Structure 1
């Protein structure tokens, strides 16, 4: 362990103690301070902030697309890659005080695989059960890190279920030909296997203080956190109108449609599910919407002022959806998203 330093976050006035061996984001999470973040790998810029006081900061590797050199020179920082080597004052540029103050401390544990089944040709429905501890607390929309045995590497996946006392956790995971966890899941994971995990991470969670209409936009494995949010809304009979757009390449890439319809029937304030296919040319039986999901959103909707939006999927889709939603009137601070960055093959806007 290295020396410890105080990091103060403005304008919320919260202080944490950060060890030099930890990133600032990690130190905050361990102390139950839930800062905005996404990939935790310096790729998505969700945790970008500004250094008000202090200069001695060391960085793990990151993408200069997320933090260009000129921005770093001007004082910008990525909290997921930054290590404090002196006391710092950080201005949070992207924050939600409700989420910051309701954060849950990180918990490490072990899970046992209950099932590992294909739901499409390249997505798996993984179900695990907590072994130790018996439960990890999380909010719907958050994610968990899995450590790949024998590698020391970890990968992040969003829970698809809601918090429960039986210790079961569900995930919808995309399989990539060159993905380290993908190949582990596709070729080596069996029922009864145990995997080390840590959670909760992520801020794509329901803002309970708001009652506005909800727009969900998803693609690929972005189904997982959106399904968790939808299940939570239905279970708790939350009275908010929900419109769920989901983009896929072909009809064979759609999943959980029956359950989504059933969940929607439990939402008394109204629910619509609109799947769209980006490649429906060879599917004579498909009578639904076609095109990129962001194109469908823009064709359907004209005024989303006052709405909250949740966007989950591959980075190109998330970026396009944010642009579309802001053009339609959703305030940027009311768009909550998870970019499913990957170390395997890159995904397009339709999740393929």
Structure 2
């Protein structure tokens, strides 16, 4: 998902598309590998983002936008996930295996704090799940013992991206809990999906909201305004909140 207020870098590394898969309605997952294995991105931290540079037929940059990394493997492969909406994402979604793009980065400070035993409470809106899922995967891989609770909010159930990956993490790691919410009423609600908007009361009924908890929030400006509003209203300190606004 693209972000705002980011300066476009002037240099990039060539990558080519290796794999593509739909992860929800209008949400696509793309995996790229470096064209030259001797020239790849520097290591990244979970939650960081890269600039994706779309190229023309001659390899000249047409446009660039930032996207969160879903993951960045040791072999140099990177993956991103985004919702198809707008000209740039339509162009990215039209890429086929072997097509080239430019990539620069990684960038960003929206990363996991290494604070032992503090509860991590994550609130994701829509495709804002990508950097948070990256953090949860990293925490599981590195055997982080902090309890993690994710509240993932969407309009309807078909918008829930990476559902299988999230469910697998939940079942394999006892310290990870997840709650799915949709704001639109459904005639056939899913068993594990609640209906309504995220609120302090909803969260408090499902997880202890301790004073030393850390909150990670990622979503649209409207989602951020809503969640930040009730967190601050209920006494959560600004220094306990890490956030990333998606546009």
Structure-2 separation of matches of 1:107 and 1:224: 25
1:308 and 2:214 equivalent?
yes
Q: Is the 8 A contact 2:120 2:148 kept in 1?
A: yes
Is residue 165 of structure 2 the alignment partner of residue 165 of structure 1?
no
Aligned to 1:40: 5
Shift in alpha-carbon separation, 1:287–1:333, aligned structure 2, 3 A: closer
Deviation per residue, 1:305-349 (Å, 9 max, x gap) = 1111111111111221122222344321121111111xxxxxxxx
Counterpart of 2:88 (choices 181, 187, 202) is 181
TM-score by length of 1: 0.62
Q: CA deviation at 1:217?
A: 0.5
How much has 1:297 moved relative to structure 2? 3.2
Question: Partners of 1:221 and 1:174 in 2: how far apart?
Answer: 7
Bigger Rg, structure 1 or 2: 1
Q: Is the 8 Å Cα contact of residues 153 and 198 (structure 2) preserved in structure 1?
A: yes
201-210 or 221-230, which moves further after superposition? 201-210
Report SS of the residue matched to 1:203: coil
Partner of 1:156: 66
Unpaired segments of 5 or more residues in structure 2? none
2:169 aligned residue? 263
C-alpha RMSD over aligned residues: 2.4
The runs of 4+ residues in structure 1 deviating greater than 3 Å are 265-268, 284-287, 294-304
1:144 maps onto 2:53 in alignment = no
Post-superposition offset of 1:210: 4.6
Whether 1:134 aligns to 2:40 is: yes
Provide closer, same or farther for how the CA distance between residues 206 and 284 of structure 1 changes in structure 2, counting only shifts above 3 A: closer
Distance 1:327 1:298 in 2: 14
Aligned residue number for residue 112 of structure 1: 16
Q: Which runs of 5+ in 1 are unaligned?
A: 1-37, 42-79, 82-105, 342-352
| Paired residue secondary structure (1:289) | strand
1:292 Cα deviation after fit = 1.7
Distance 2:242 2:225 in 1: 12
Deviation at 1:172, TM superposition (A): 1.4
Q: CA 1:281 to 1:320, structure 2 compared with 1: closer, same or farther past 3 Å?
A: same
Q: Distance in 2 between matches of 1:285 and 1:225?
A: 25
Q: What is the total number of aligned residue pairs between the two structures?
A: 237
